[in-house]
Structure 1
Amino acid sequence: MTLRRTEAEAASLRAIWTRDLLDSQPEFECGELVRLAACLCGTPIGLVTLLDERHQWFRASDDLKMGETPREVAFCAHAVRQNGLFMVNDALTDQRFSSNPLVTWDPAIRFFAGVGLYNSDDEPMGTFCVVDLVPRILSEDQMEALEILGRQISLRLEAVVQRKALEQALADKERASAGLRASEELFRAFMNASPFLSYIKDAAGRLLFYNRSFAQRFGVSEYAWLGRTDEQLWSRKLTKSVRTHDLEVMAGGKMVETEEHIRNSDGSVSSLRSFKFPCHDSAGNVLLAGVAVDVSEEVAHHAELERYHRELEDANDQLRKLAVTDELTGLRNRRSFEERLVMEFSLARRRKRELSVLLIDVDNFKTINDRWGHAAGDEVLRRLGMILRTTVRLPDLPARYGGEEFVVLLPESGEESAMGLARRVMQRVATEDWENEPLTISVGMASMNESLENGFQLVELADEALYAAKRAGKNRVMVHSG
């Protein structure tokens, strides 16, 4: 897929092409074709123009030595904006050019015919044209010849730009090679003075070079291990791991980052972060280069940080749970219920779905507290929470609303379904083996209707139904009748 350039990028490329062509010699590349075009068209002048955002340059012409002009007066600026040949038979009678200084002053152009010159990316480089100082009309054959020659000149100018780029690339490469040769000794000195562990191995895993830091790390001289392989230096388990990574680098041709654990000369274990990459000797043989840094402290710190993060996440999980959970009953608290209520009400109204609420109150709860104590009252609330949690459906949300009040949010449940759940809850309460005395509850139920503006109004309707149940003698379910 070809990415479309921005206007700024295209303008920058045009400037580079124009500079390259001006620095080269389009006259040499295109002179014969320009003269051939003038001859075929019977005009005294043939030329190539180059354009950038503000200027026009006249090139490859022996008869018109103007150098450059502003782009806004250029005939060529019109030619590059259309496909095919652009022709002005008489500039003095053409409103676009009758007051143009190239027409009214020197060189007093009257006739122009030209085609746009484009590179391989279809970006305009300039024009190829013939010019006369008197009006003129070209034949069909002449126009076709001019277009054919224009395509040939485009190819030649594109070749000029590509040759220029190639010459620049070769020059850059030569400068880089010279700089590399000049810095080779400096690089060797840098490697030996580096605090990092550096080494080079051949394809068989033999050490060809290692620096002072490497030697000091393992308590050897700077030459003692040269020519030795991994199998001669490390344990079998470590050798297998190290060699596997070495082969990955040489086979894949890319850098591999690993963390290795190396036993030091004093018996301690160090963690090294190793960066391995392929390189080549003067004969083209693939070698393995490596740089390693001691990260033992970082590894220990990271392990400690991970442990701290786990503990912190556990604490945050507990805090999040406490923020939405009633500590006594284990049900959701009022805040969590109201957040879910807002969401479910909006969803039900938008999708025309049913939604119901049960508001539950423990009958004579104050008497239970006064007679049996607050611990007994708390146990009643815990067991009622358990009954709700094990009786409702999976999508339903039971919550402690406050004090001895509980609430159940019933998504996609109408009056009949909600009444069924209320009766099941009352049945569970009635058959539960309560510790001190039988327990009863009163339930108020309300279902979604079109007059409600928010979920809190739905709870208010359930609350009204609950008070009606209380007034009617408790231990019953009442439905709010809109």
Structure 2
Amino acid sequence: MTSMSTDHLYQLVNRSKRNTENVIKTAPLGICITDPHGLFEMVNPAYCQFYGYQEEELIGQHFTLVVPEAYRPHMRQLHDDFIQGDETHELRQEWEVRCKNGETRTIIAEAARIEGDDGVSRKVTFIVDITQRKQLEERLKQANERLEYLAHHDELTGLLNRRQGLTKLEEALERCRRYGNQLSIVLFDLDDFKGINDTYGHSTGDSVLQELTQVVNQQLRETDFQVRLGGEEFLVIMPEVDADSAYTAMERIRQKVEQTPYTEHELTVTLSAGIACYIEASSTRMLDRADKAMYQAKQAGRNQIVIASSSV
């Protein structure tokens, strides 16, 4: 093996150091080195650019300068534990950080413990910006939640939609069959709603529906379900309620609906309703009885409520 002079070896070591420094300075990911106390000793250009600081603004400052204030005690403790611990690598973790301009961003950070020429341990941290990815993930999450919501709710009123409402009715009927519970349902329809759309436009009609459903909801119990079946037709499911009690509740709602002015036009709206109670029938049969009772209310002059007989 050819012997190597001390001068040649020294040159190679210096060249290696220079290469390492060049790699750090030109690296596309942010890199910083902190001393045992958590103070910045080195920050590369990518790190400075990401956070919006000049190098001289960071050197000598505690690394938690770039961490939201609420997280700083926890981050200090993690740094101290790592410096004093036995592990040489810190697991890759996701963190929320704060830039100089106050912007909050998200990073993936990975760290290693190194020993300096003075024999003192230091922490070198590598960061990767994942802010856009997190924002995309959040938008996708919100979109999925929106789709899930719309699968069960009416977009205009926020009520349960027809499909989910009928599912709730089947669940209520199953409890009746199993435990002998009482159950009443109400079908109601707004009187001459077509006239509102024709006179004031569908936008006003939509506003009427939104306001009216809130009025009705305020009068219902927490255990009741209001469902928009379609158009201006609605279903109310009232568990543990007999027909007479449902009539009393619905009469209170009918009066409240009639007394409330709707939209900036202060429109008067009335409803006609049919009530059916559980008599060991299917949901289809129960809805049919309520629908026929509602039709009787319409035929009798509207703005009233009819209880379906068991033979209807």
Which bin holds the TM-score, normalised by the shorter protein?
0.5 to 0.7
2:174 is aligned to: 346
The structure-2 alpha-carbon separation of the partners of 1:236 and 1:330, relative to structure 1 and needing over 3 Å to count, comes to: closer
1:56-135 correspondence runs (5 A)? none
TM-score, normalized by length of structure 2? 0.63
Query: Deviation of residue 255 (structure 1)?
Result: 6.9
> Whose RCO is larger (CA < 8 A, sep 6+)?
2
The structure-2 alpha-carbon separation of the partners of 1:356 and 1:213, relative to structure 1 and needing over 3 Å to count, comes to: farther
Task: Specify the code of the residue in structure 2 equivalent to 1:347.
Answer: R
Task: Specify the code of the residue in structure 2 equivalent to 1:356.
Answer: S
Which one has the largest radius of gyration? 1
TM-score, normalized by length of structure 1? 0.43
**Residue 244 (structure 1) aligned with residue 80 (structure 2):** yes
2:144 is aligned to: 316
Task: Specify the code of the residue in structure 2 equivalent to 1:469.
Answer: A
Query: Deviation of residue 420 (structure 1)?
Result: 1.9
Query: Deviation of residue 379 (structure 1)?
Result: 3.8
**Could you tell me how far apart the structure 2 residues matched to 1:459 and 1:246 are?**
67
**Residue 449 (structure 1) aligned with residue 279 (structure 2):** yes
**Could you tell me how far apart the structure 1 residues matched to 2:92 and 2:81 are?**
8
Q: Is the 8 A contact 1:249 1:276 kept in 2?
A: no
Query: Deviation of residue 376 (structure 1)?
Result: 4.4
**Could you tell me how far apart the structure 1 residues matched to 2:298 and 2:144 are?**
41
Q: Alignment partner of 1:456: what SS?
A: helix
**Could you tell me how far apart the structure 2 residues matched to 1:457 and 1:333 are?**
20
Query: Deviation of residue 382 (structure 1)?
Result: 2.9
1:140-219 correspondence runs (5 A)? none
1:401-412 correspondence runs (5 A)? 401-412=229-240
Match of 1:418 among 223, 238, 246: 246
Offset from partner CA, 1:418-477 (integer Å, 9 cap, x none):
112211111102212354664321110011122x1x323222221121112222232211
1:460 is aligned to: 288
Q: Alignment partner of 2:235: what SS?
A: strand
Query: Deviation of residue 272 (structure 1)?
Result: 5.5
Q: Alignment partner of 1:329: what SS?
A: coil
2:91 is aligned to: 257
**Could you tell me how far apart the structure 2 residues matched to 1:465 and 1:457 are?**
12
Task: Structure 2 unaligned segments of length 5 or more: list them.
Answer: 1-15, 26-34, 42-59, 65-75, 98-106
Offset from partner CA, 1:392-436 (integer Å, 9 cap, x none):
111211122122211111122222331122111111022123546
Q: Is the 8 A contact 1:245 1:256 kept in 2?
A: no
1:380 is aligned to: 208
Task: Structure 1 unaligned segments of length 5 or more: list them.
Answer: 1-209, 220-228, 262-269, 278-286
Q: Alignment partner of 1:433: what SS?
A: coil
The aligned length equals 243
Q: Is the 8 A contact 2:83 2:123 kept in 1?
A: no
**Could you tell me how far apart the structure 1 residues matched to 2:108 and 2:270 are?**
67
Match of 1:440 among 267, 270, 280: 270
Query: Deviation of residue 304 (structure 1)?
Result: 2.0
**Could you tell me how far apart the structure 1 residues matched to 2:139 and 2:201 are?**
38
